A and B are shown apart, each in its own frame.
Chain A
Amino acid sequence: MVISGVGLGLRSAHIKPVLELNSDVDWFELLTDNWLDASGVDGLLLDEFCKRYPVSLHSIAMNIAGCDALNNDYFSAISRLSNRVKSTLISDHLCFSQVDGKPIHDLAPIPYNNDTLNHVVTRILKIQEYLKTTISIENITAYVNCLGSTMSEPAFLNEVARQTGCGILLDINNIYVNSKNFDNSALNYLYELNPLYVSQYHLAGFQNQGNYLLDAHDSYIHDDVLKLYEAALMKIGIKPTLIEWDNNIPNYQDLLTEYERVKSVYQQYNLAMHHAFNNEVTNV
């Protein structure tokens, strides 16, 4: 099933409420690593869930920019899951997450330069060949800058997408958090990206720690992030949009309130785009 509109990151606590309410959500994102070879009650729920909703798969352990050999068992498991849930979108992050076979359970930044670009491109091409589909890669929150960088993150992402055909999963909250922590322009970031490569948006809440922002995924989307999202809708265009909420998970009704807030923004721009398109056609 094709992904469009606004989706929610599915968390275990919400599966039953979603199914019971027959919730009117456009699509859901599954955290791949939590559902690989799901069985037991979880497996049954998953199968029921995917009959009703389109889903995308979001991974954290492809280790796209890592130096370890790609883990074919992991990609086989993703393939099996993708076939099972009929996912049309598979994504992971532009980062490394494992070193010498040992996981760091986090997303660590890489330097943006030609050597790393070649390394990442080679690995994404292999992953896509293995999965027999293109993937999308997400910009991460980074709390350090690598000294070896010679290009900006959006320029790097553009080039990776151009050379591999992969999409860019644009996390608006991550752009905002990085821009505040490193005093960059979030708008310039958006303007530097090639809109053709962007496949999806992510939105989430951050924590203000006083001297820095933490990408915590534990609260409502900040108004400034939502404004940046609007800027992305205008500059880059309408793309499937996902709300992530991973910690201090609210009850499902509260999450739906947040969903409606984002959905109204999405629909407003979606309608505006349709009107603009229709006017253009009429004028022709």
Chain B
Amino acid sequence: MSNKSLSNYQTEFYNMMVNNDRLNVADYIGDTFTWQLDVYQNNYHQCLFSTLSKTFNKTVIYLENNNYDIKYLFNRYIKENPSTESNLALYGARFSSWLKSIEYANIKIRIAADFATLDYALYQCYYASNSQSFLLEAFLALNDADKLNAKFQRLASISLLTSQWDLIEHDMVSISESIEPLEKTYNMLYYVVYRELGIAKYELISNDMYCLLSELRESKTLLYITENPIYNSEVNMPKLIQRQWVCMQ
């Protein structure tokens, strides 16, 4: 088997595993029993299924409490979204937007989609790289001009999301397995996902804190932050420092 034919064989093997195309691979492996190819297809599917189950646990609880067949949804997602990353922790990045796009995306599915965004952010937060936290002493040692030019950036473990629903309330309802989900909508609620003592958490934040943290995705000087009233920096910067959500560049 030449390199070209080795490459063709591997393509056909992939098509068998992922797309259930069993015909062409037979040229390279001969006749097989059904179980022989089933093993590979099951391994691939099971690997992605268990990744989704691990990542989207709040979403699963919410959907199951609302009588949705989560297995069906995961199976369909896997079929429509083959894995593209060898790092399994990244699988499911599109699950939230996929949920919103399915043909019967009613209000419960849309709430589930926001939970999926939250679950994915919590999962990524847990594995995010460590950044050096803000060192107050180092900042205080600077002169006034240097303080204004000091650059701040939010930690890699911090992420943001918005929802029209009170996810914290829904989360608590889901855990208590109430059958009466709250569907009160808001103009917009703002959430931050962060890591504290190794645990990924989330909480509601104000609109101006959301804007400030969004801006601090890239490093910004204190002067830039304080000059823009939208960030309410007098209130929010001390909070960010106290919560250790920013570092100084």
C-alpha spacing A106/B47, complex, angstroms: 9
Q: Are A115 and B18 in contact (CB under 8 A)?
A: no
Instruction: Map CB proximity to B onto A93-110 as digits: 1 under 8 Å, 0 otherwise.
Output: 000111111111110101
Instruction: Map CB proximity to A onto B1-21 as digits: 1 under 8 Å, 0 otherwise.
Output: 111011101110110011000
B35: Cβ under 8 A from any A Cβ:
yes
Complex contacts, A277 vs chain B, CB 8 Å? none
Once A40-B198, A41-B198, A116-B6 are accepted as A-B contacts, the answer to whether A209 and B1 lie under 8 Å apart by CB is no
B85: Cβ under 8 A from any A Cβ:
yes
Q: Are A106 and B40 in contact (CB under 8 A)?
A: yes
Which of A43, A97, A209, A212 contacts B130 (CB under 8 A)?
A43
CB of B32, distance to nearest CB on chain A (Å): 6
Task: Considering the complex, give the chain A residue whose CB is closest to the CB of B30.
Answer: A147
CB of A135, distance to nearest CB on chain B (Å): 18
Once A102-B82, A102-B84, A148-B28 are accepted as A-B contacts, the answer to whether A111 and B1 lie under 8 Å apart by CB is yes
Task: Considering the complex, give the chain B residue whose CB is closest to the CB of A108.
Answer: B13
Q: Are A66 and B10 in contact (CB under 8 A)?
A: yes
Complex contacts, A269 vs chain B, CB 8 Å? none
C-alpha spacing A144/B30, complex, angstroms: 9
Which of A96, A103, A143, A209 contacts B86 (CB under 8 A)?
A103
B122: Cβ under 8 A from any A Cβ:
no
Complex contacts, A36 vs chain B, CB 8 Å? 87
Q: Are A40 and B127 in contact (CB under 8 A)?
A: yes
C-alpha spacing A144/B40, complex, angstroms: 10
B59: Cβ under 8 A from any A Cβ:
no
Complex contacts, A33 vs chain B, CB 8 Å? 86-88
Task: Considering the complex, give the chain A residue whose CB is closest to the CB of B25.
Answer: A144
Number of interface residues of B (CB under 8 A): 44
C-alpha spacing A212/B33, complex, angstroms: 11
CB of B28, distance to nearest CB on chain A (Å): 6
Q: Are B128 and A40 in contact (CB under 8 A)?
A: yes
Q: Which of A83-139 contact B (CB under 8 A)?
A: 96-106, 108, 110-111, 113, 115-116, 119
Once A40-B126, A144-B36, A214-B39 are accepted as A-B contacts, the answer to whether A105 and B83 lie under 8 Å apart by CB is yes
Once A40-B127, A145-B30, A211-B35 are accepted as A-B contacts, the answer to whether A104 and B18 lie under 8 Å apart by CB is yes
Which of A74, A99, A119, A143 contacts B36 (CB under 8 A)?
A143
Complex contacts, B82 vs chain A, CB 8 Å? 102
B228: Cβ under 8 A from any A Cβ:
no
A39: Cβ under 8 A from any B Cβ:
yes
C-alpha spacing A134/B198, complex, angstroms: 35
A67: Cβ under 8 A from any B Cβ:
yes
8 cross-chain CB contacts under 8 A: A33-B86, A33-B87, A96-B10, A99-B14, A106-B40, A119-B3, A145-B30, A146-B29
**Contacts A99-B10, A212-B35 supplied; 14 other A-B pairs, CB < 8 Å:** A37-B129, A39-B127, A39-B128, A40-B128, A105-B48, A106-B47, A111-B9, A116-B1, A119-B6, A146-B1, A146-B29, A148-B5, A148-B9, A209-B35
- Contact surface of A with B, Cβ cutoff 8 Å: 33, 36-37, 39-44, 61, 66-67, 74, 96-106, 108, 110-111, 113, 115-116, 119, 143-148, 209, 211-212, 214
- Contact surface of B with A, Cβ cutoff 8 Å: 1-3, 5-7, 9-11, 13-14, 17-18, 27-30, 32-33, 35-37, 39-40, 43-44, 47-48, 82-88, 126-130, 157, 195, 197-198
